[in-house]
């Protein structure tokens, strides 16, 4: 039985991330400093690259400036957080309904036997 390590993610440094997303490295640094992207200490992964590509599209396609892009990225992050919370609450509600149905069935079965 071998003790295999999980595959390592390929992480890019800021210069490589900038080149991969066709952005100036100063924009990459600026967005990291503003915490609009959150690279690990080892570098930028696919999630950060996707966010940087969004930045580029917002700038190039819509002509938005950096403050507007920052607002959009924060709103997007907040929406994603809220969507995850909604999913969690829906699962909890389904589980609670299921428990109540099972409890009611058991109680009804018990009461019929008395």
Predicted model pTM: 0.66
Q: What are the tens digits of pLDDT across the range 48-84? A: 999 999 999 999 999 999 899 999 999 999 999 999 9
Measure the CA–CA gap between 49 and 17, rounded to whole angstroms.
Answer: 7
The pLDDT, as a whole number, for residue 25 is 94
Domains of the chain: 14-113 (1.10.1660)
Measure the CA–CA gap between 26 and 19, rounded to whole angstroms.
Answer: 12
Q: Are 38 and 48 in contact (CB under 8 A)?
A: yes
The pLDDT, as a whole number, for residue 31 is 86
Helices (H) and strands (E) counted in the chain, each on its own, are: 4, 0
Biggest CA-to-CA distance, the chain: 78
The pLDDT, as a whole number, for residue 58 is 93
């Amino acid at each position: 039985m071998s003790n295999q390590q999980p595959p390592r993610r390929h992480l890019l440094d800021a210069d490589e991330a900038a080149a991969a997303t066709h952005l100036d490295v100063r924009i990459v640094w600026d967005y990291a400093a503003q915490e609009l992207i959150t690279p690990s200490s080892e570098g930028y992964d696919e999630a950060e690259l996707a966010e940087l590509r969004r930045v580029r599209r917002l700038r190039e396609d819509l002509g938005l400036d950096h403050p507007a892009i920052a607002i959009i990225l924060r709103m997007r992050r907040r929406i994603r957080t809220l969507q995850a919370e909604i999913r969690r609450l829906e699962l909890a509600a389904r589980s609670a309904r299921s428990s109540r149905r099972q409890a009611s069935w058991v109680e009804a079965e018990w009461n019929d036997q008395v």
